[in-house]
A and B are shown apart, each in its own frame.
Chain A
């Protein structure tokens, strides 16, 4: 399944070899997502499939829904690559 594994790091070597990097995140780390569309979010916690730890040890996480509207995108827009800008335009016309 082509999901995202937040807080997990996998490096790719010169010959394409994938290496799971343990200890990539520490307690207290967080990631914040601003939604550009109305989106269904699905989460679960379980060990990364490349984690070499033989013990199955899923850990708890906390989620927060921060209920304010960010006004930052217009300011950030110029630094996005052209493909992202066209993507934002496609999203915008969906919500007109």
Chain B
């Protein structure tokens, strides 16, 4: 599968939902089967840490290993079927004007920042700590 540039024909002016996610914040919302969801890189060179879960059963989640093995390719682009740990297709990339997306590097965390930068950077901002409040609101557990 080579990089596959496909522009969407859908008009964002007709979207039922439109939201600008400010820098350093996390977002969570259910999307229904059949809906199309667009992620727009407003300033360029973004790394949008993204997770997907079965809305009815969050023990079923996006699985990078299953996804790249199923398509025999490490890059995500138009046509990539994003697979769950149960072997189900959660969603498909139907348009992509960038061409290649990473699913190998993982998300930065307090722990990985302690080796990437230094131990005293452990308390600094990281992707996983940013995602945690929306994934596990206070009073719930992983």
Contacts and interface: CB of A to CB of B under 8 A. Distances in A.
A90 B69 contact: no
22 contacts: A1-B65, A1-B85, A12-B74, A15-B3, A15-B73, A16-B1, A16-B73, A16-B74, A16-B100, A17-B73, A18-B69, A18-B73, A18-B74, A49-B69, A50-B69, A83-B115, A84-B115, A86-B114, A86-B119, A90-B114, A90-B115, A90-B119
Q: Which 3 interchain pairs have the tightest Cβ spacing?
A: A16-B75, A86-B115, A16-B73
A89 B120 CA distance: 12
A74 interface: no
Interface residues of B, number: 18
B64 interface: yes
B92 to A, nearest CB: 17
Interface residues of A, number: 15
A15 B3 CA distance: 7
A26 to B, nearest CB: 25
A95 B116 CA distance: 21
Nearest to B65: A2
Nearest to B64: A2
A40 B92 CA distance: 37
B65 A18 contact: no
A15 B2 CA distance: 5
A28 interface: no
Interface string A49-82: 1100000000000000000000000000000000
A89 B119 contact: yes
